C-alpha cells in the first residue's frame, strides 16, 4: 500500500470549510484513498473513500487530483465536534481488512 503524507496539525474556524490535504505520490492505479477520523478516546470513524472521481456523502467531500498523487478532504461547515485526528489511507480494495494508519492530521476547530 502506498505511503501518505499529511500535515501534523491544522486549525479551522467554526462554520468555515475545513480542507485537509494528503499526498500519495506513489499511489498505484488500483489503490483507493480512504479517510477516517478519530475523536479523542473513541474508535476511528470511516468518512469517505474514492478511486479517481470526486466523491461526496453526508459527512464530507473527497477531491482527488487528476494524476491521483494527492487528495483533499473537505468538511463543508466545520463544527466543534469535527475536532479530531484525520487519517488518509491508501490501499488496494482487495479482500482484506488491513488498514495502515499514519500519524494523521489533528484538526482543531475553533469557535
Partner 1 sequence: KAGVTQTPRYLIKTRGQQVTLSCSPISGHRSVSWYQQTPGQGLQFLFEYFSETQRNKGNFPGRFSGRQFSNSRSEMNVSTLELGDSALYLCASSPGDLAGVGEQYFGPGTRLTVT
Applying CB under 8 A, the residues found at the interface with partner 1 are 32, 34, 38, 41-46, 49, 87, 91, 93-103
Residue closer to partner 1, measured from CB, 16 or 103: 103
Residue closer to partner 1, measured from CB, 80 or 100: 100
82 DSSP 8-state letter: G
| 19 burial via Cβ count (<10 Å: 0-12, 13-18, 19+) | middle
Q: C-beta of 62: minimal distance to partner 1 in Å? A: 13
What is the closest distance, in whole angstroms, from the C-beta atom of residue 97 to partner 1 in the complex? Answer: 4
Q: Give the separation between CA 53 and CA 30, rounded to whole angstroms.
A: 13
Name which of 40 and 111 has its Cβ closer to partner 1. Answer: 40
CB of residue 15 to partner 1, shortest distance in Å: 28
CB hemisphere CA count around 33 (13 angstroms) = 28
DSSP single-letter state for residue 14 = T
Amino acid at each position: 500500500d502506498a505511503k501518505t503524507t499529511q500535515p501534523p496539525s491544522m486549525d479551522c474556524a467554526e462554520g468555515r470549510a475545513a480542507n485537509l490535504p494528503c499526498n500519495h505520490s506513489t499511489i498505484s492505479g488500483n489503490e483507493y484513498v480512504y479517510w477516517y477520523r478519530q475523536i479523542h478516546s473513541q474508535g476511528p470513524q470511516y468518512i469517505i473513500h474514492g478511486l479517481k472521481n470526486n466523491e461526496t456523502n453526508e459527512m464530507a467531500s473527497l477531491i482527488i487530483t487528476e494524476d491521483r498523487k494527492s487528495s483533499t478532504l473537505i468538511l463543508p461547515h466545520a463544527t466543534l465536534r469535527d475536532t479530531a485526528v484525520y487519517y488518509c489511507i491508501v490501499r488496494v480494495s482487495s479482500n482484506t481488512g488491513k488498514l495502515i494508519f499514519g500519524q494523521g492530521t489533528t484538526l482543531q476547530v475553533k469557535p
